[in-house]
Amino acid sequence: MKTWKKISLLFLIFALMAACAPSATTSPQTASPAPAATATLQPPSLPWWRKAVFYEIFVRSFQDSNGDGIGDFNGITNRLDYLQDLGVTALWLMPINPSPSYHGYDVLNYYAVNPQYGTMADFKKLLAEAHKRDMRVIMDLVLNHTSNQHPFFVSANSDVNSPYRDFYRWAATYPGTHWHTGNTGFYYGFFSDRMPDLNYANPAVTTQIEQMSAFWLEMGVDGFRIDAAKHLVEEGEKFENTVSNHAWLKGYYAAIKTDFPNAYTLGEIYGAGALVSKIYQNELDHIFNFEVASGSVNSALGQANSGINSAITFAKKDNPQGDFATFLTNHDQERVMSTLRGDVNKAKVAAALLLTAPGTPFLYYGEEIGMTGKKPDEYIRTPMQWDASPNTGFTSGQPWIEINADFASGTNVAAEQADPASLWNLYRQLIALRRAHPALSMGDTLLPETANRGVYALLRVDSFSGETLLALVNLTGEPISQYALSASGLPLPDGEAAPQTLFGGETAAGVTISGGAFHAWQPLDSLPPYGIFIFQLSR
């Protein structure tokens, strides 16, 4: 899109006004990795995000490098080796633009970085150091609204003849919900009076957004998580998933991909599942699959496979390639460890469900050590807990918000790295397995019958390497000895198969394959409480 290569007069006005692969440690639970697969077919060339493991970072709370109590870009740069060791291959940075709020979802200047987080040079250094480690970086892009302190809105709110008046939606009389009193009329702000919505019926707004997106992509950012993607364009009283919204996203997506085909666009479509990911094809590369997220957490909490099985069944029906993003909880939800009532065994089960399921997984910072947090939002975004030293190694100064007290009693990175049975080490091992075995990241999915609702079983099949893996989890706190597995539709030759243990440390019984199926197979005589196993059925 050659217009992006030119700096428009509007761009100049905008700028002037707004300027004011890890090594896996073998543990007692883990068998040695199997030899590399010999591909029988040439696998397709898939975009980088299909094989990625993402890590969501709230910059303010991750690592402070200068003692002011606020996390910053240099702090993240200093922790890249940690992230690489954990195994993540991509970072999602929550809003990094200047903002009057602590969270950053009300932007003051789309072409600058929050000075509390550092300079633009600091951000570029973070990008360069991440890329040296083959780690991608995407940033939160808030397209639905600006801050009410943004220069464009200040101008529009003070003068009905402002050149930026039509950058927002106005009414002379009060239209109803989501409208707020301004200085020169009523303006629309779906989320808050502090966040006036942009008016995408004005083509100049789209031009600005496309130019701004190109600015960051040319700098080296690898893509965007688009906040509130279903709310961008309203139609009368309909304020989400409108025809106009789809049309706008389709145009924006085409514009991005013209000059930046490897840029990743991820949409927040709150509450969406795999069906919605089909609807947003050619508009976004991925959306978050909230069905799989809630199914995973509900099955871990309720100790029954119905939640996750239902979510994966719908996902397989609506998006069989698993071409969506998955997670457990994020920055808008209570932390998964709190949802699981502090039960580390259930947190391990949830981790296993996330990292064996289809889709591109996203971890929320601190999830790997079991950080807790309940609403209000500030308390689900508290500082990362690095060690048991004062202020948990996050800052040498006064942290911007109180740190969770449990950092001193073992919920910290240093303590969990030293414990082979910790949640952190489980995450590290499962991420390493996911990266080493394409079946876990891109394989087809089959749900065997388990004859026991307390047992989760999932087959991942990679047709190109011929690899078939079985994930097997006891969701309960009791041993289970009756759970006969049955499955069909497997691309396996007839005969006896001797499963190899990739995770779990126990040897599985052989299985008879006949007509691409097996019946009443119990890999282990008994599944221990919260037992997690991954078996390889073939190469």
**Residues identified as active-site:** 227, 268
- Give the E-state strand segments of 189-318 in sequence order: 223-226, 264-267, 286-287
Q: How far apart are CA 174 and CA 186, in angstroms?
A: 6
Tokens 């989400």 sit at which residue?
240
- 3-state SS, residue 11: helix
Tell me the two tokens of residue 508: 């599985």
Cα–Cα distance measured from residue 241 to residue 2, given in angstroms and rounded to the nearest whole number: 30
Q: Looking at the chain, how many residues does it have?
A: 539
3-state percent breakdown (helix, strand, coil) of the chain, nearest 5: 35, 20, 45
User: How are strands ordered across the β-sheet holding 186-188?
Assistant: 170-171, 186-188, 179-181
Using CA atoms, how far apart are residues 163 and 157, in angstroms rounded to an integer?
11
**Which tokens sit at 13?**
């006005």
Those residues whose C-beta lies under 8 Å from the C-beta of residue 465, and which sit 6 or more positions away, are 37, 38, 39, 40, 43, 438, 439, 539
**Two structure tokens written together for 51:** 């094989």
> Is the Cβ–Cβ distance between 193 and 157 less than 8 Å?
no
- How buried is 10 (Cβ within 10 angstroms: 0-12 exposed, 13-18 middle, 19+ buried)? middle
User: Computed from CA positions of residues 318, 323, 324, 326, in that sequence, does the dihedral angle turn out positive or negative?
Assistant: positive
Residues 6 or more apart from 177 whose CB is under 8 A from it? none
User: Burial of 243 by CB count in 10 Å (0-12 exposed, 13-18 middle, 19+ buried)?
Assistant: exposed
